[in-house]
Structure 1
Amino acid sequence: MAKKNREPGQLAQLWQVFQVTRKHNPLVTLWTLLCILGPIALAVVGSLIFSAGNIINWIIWVVLGVLVGILLGLIVMGRIAESTAYRQMQGKQGASGAVLSGALRRGWITSDQPIAVNPKTLDAVFRAIGRAGVVLVIEGPTARTQRLSDDERRKCVRLLPNVPVTVLNVGPDASSVPLTQLSKRIKKLPKVLTKAEVSVVSRRMSSLGNDMPIPKGIDPNRIRSMGRPR
């Protein structure tokens, strides 16, 4: 029987991420080492000042420095890897969907597949549903995607008039949201829905075009007043 292909472990995955990031951003090595060695050096100095002659305390200081250094190094490497990946995706079709499905996880219902596409220009609309309501991410120049954006927003407002609809443009315009800031911008939106209401909104949005019945027990029209859609 052929052996099943095993997925790489966490350490192997981290090493792969580091190697890929280093190809596009060589400074990741320097910053990661500084973040690891910095806390260790501070711990050694601190132990010599505050625990001179006490071996046990000295060991504790160093161990804590190593742990903090490794944690800080992993965090910084992850941030650099994420930023580098976003820069590589900038301007590519489907990049917004990849960010939504990768960066928005807990509390958000997303997909890397667009909900609408202009077949001529390949401009696309991606959707995320969460406690902030419905977020439409328009991929393409603002002027060219205005009609596509208005059509999708109109559908959302007609289906759920009391749910906030936020439209964000990711494109070459100066007023557009940079791909690197997309997930942060969405996470900063005010939370106005409960988890149960998010589920209802998701089901209602999935029913576009087939009149799927509303689940019993929760009426989306009962959702408390959340202001007019933006």
Structure 2
Amino acid sequence: MAKPRTAAENKAARAAAQAERKAASKERRTQLWQAFNLQRKQDKRLLPYMIGAFVLIVAAAVVASLLLGGLFTMVTLIPLGVVLGALVAFIIFGRRAQKSVYRQAEGQTGAAAWVLDNLRGKWRVSPGVAATGHFDAVHRVIGRPGVIFVGEGSSTRVKPLLAQEKKRTARLVGDVPIYDVVVGNGEGEVPLSKLERHLTRLPANITVKQMDTLESRLAALGSRAGAGVMPKGPLPNAGKMRGVQRTVRRK
């Protein structure tokens, strides 16, 4: 039986937890500030849009408070306008930063795998289950829709890989739906910036428990991609924004 902690030990544990939370909060603020400076240098319209949105919303709140009259209305609406204006400005920053990340990553080796690795929600991602020597790759995703294969690279080389993986997988998953997606800007392809939205809009066909069963079953298939042909992810400029993107989402 574990020995109960003393009051001093409990106090030390609380202090350590508080210090850890403060450190994490400081790290997030540092990441956001770095991201803002990076985006500001790359995007000349960022500051005008953020400042314009903030001023417009605060001005609307001031005008509304003057028209409605009353001290209580002014005290309520103006601070609300300041908070709302700051929130909208932050949303503008997050959206434009995210678009910048996708622009930098698009067309680079491993960009689709990077997007899949940052999916929000309960997704089970296995990058590079099949690949070619030309850095074309197929990634497997297990989610509520079923099994999804995402291919990136030359469509003429990726499509046969997708067909092979779907055939191999169909033998094990039974009636579970299998989808395939080719990332790109051609006809019938899904742009990198819309990949997450495309996956989240697929219908929910299986439960989380079935996802766990599928993941265990498909693990036996392994990967047919050698270490030398596995995509290494997008170039560093986009990679640096990965933590930033997660920080923006948490805010």
Question: SS at 2:206's partner residue?
Answer: coil
**Residue of structure 2 equivalent to 1:10:** 28
Post-superposition shift, 1:40? 1.2
**Residue of structure 1 equivalent to 2:50:** 32
Contact 2:129–2:222 at 8 Å: present in 1 too?
no
Contact 1:140–1:172 at 8 Å: present in 2 too?
no
**Residue of structure 2 equivalent to 1:23:** 41
Question: SS at 1:41's partner residue?
Answer: helix
What is the identity percentage for the equivalent residue pairs of Structure 1 and Structure 2? 33
User: Within 5 Å, which residues of 2 pair with 1:178-189?
Assistant: 178-189=191-202
* Aligned equivalent of 2:122, options 107, 118, 121: 107
Spell out, residue by residue over 1:46-88, the C-alpha distance to the aligned partner (whole angstroms, 9 max, x if none). Answer: 11111x2x22320210111111112212222111111110010
User: Partners in 2 of 1:174 and 1:123 — Cα distance?
Assistant: 18
Quick one: which amino acid aligns to residue 63 of structure 1?
Answer: P
Report whether the alignment pairs 1:161 with 2:164.
no
User: Within 5 Å, which residues of 2 pair with 1:87-98?
Assistant: 87-98=103-114
Spell out, residue by residue over 1:149-208, the C-alpha distance to the aligned partner (whole angstroms, 9 max, x if none). Answer: 111111221110211111110135333211011111111100111121122122222222
Mark the runs of 5 or more structure 1 residues left unpaired by the alignment. 1-5, 211-230
User: Partners in 2 of 1:35 and 1:96 — Cα distance?
Assistant: 33
**Residue of structure 2 equivalent to 1:216:** none
**Residue of structure 2 equivalent to 1:80:** 96
- The TM-score with structure 2 as length reference comes to 0.74
User: Partners in 2 of 1:46 and 1:136 — Cα distance?
Assistant: 52
Report whether the alignment pairs 1:171 with 2:184.
yes
Spell out, residue by residue over 1:122-158, the C-alpha distance to the aligned partner (whole angstroms, 9 max, x if none). Answer: 1011122110111111001211212211111112211
Contact 2:138–2:158 at 8 Å: present in 1 too?
no
- The TM-score with structure 1 as length reference comes to 0.80
Report whether the alignment pairs 1:67 with 2:83.
yes
Mark the runs of 5 or more structure 2 residues left unpaired by the alignment. 1-22, 224-251
User: Within 5 Å, which residues of 2 pair with 1:193-204?
Assistant: 193-204=206-217
User: Partners in 1 of 2:79 and 2:115 — Cα distance?
Assistant: 37
* Aligned equivalent of 1:144, options 141, 157, 164: 157
Contact 1:137–1:167 at 8 Å: present in 2 too?
yes
Report whether the alignment pairs 1:207 with 2:225.
no
Question: SS at 1:105's partner residue?
Answer: coil
Post-superposition shift, 1:24? 2.8
Quick one: which amino acid aligns to residue 206 of structure 1?
Answer: A
Runs of 4+ residues over 4 Å off in structure 1: none
- Higher helix proportion: 2
User: Partners in 1 of 2:218 and 2:88 — Cα distance?
Assistant: 41
Return the structure number with greater relative CO, CA threshold 8 A, min gap 6. Answer: 2
Question: SS at 2:209's partner residue?
Answer: helix
User: Partners in 2 of 1:57 and 1:172 — Cα distance?
Assistant: 51
User: Partners in 1 of 2:123 and 2:89 — Cα distance?
Assistant: 28
User: Partners in 1 of 2:76 and 2:28 — Cα distance?
Assistant: 27
The size of the alignment, in residue pairs, is: 201
Quick one: which amino acid aligns to residue 85 of structure 1?
Answer: V
Quick one: which amino acid aligns to residue 74 of structure 1?
Answer: F
**Residue of structure 1 equivalent to 2:13:** none
Post-superposition shift, 1:209? 4.9
User: Partners in 2 of 1:201 and 1:93 — Cα distance?
Assistant: 28
**Residue of structure 2 equivalent to 1:132:** 145
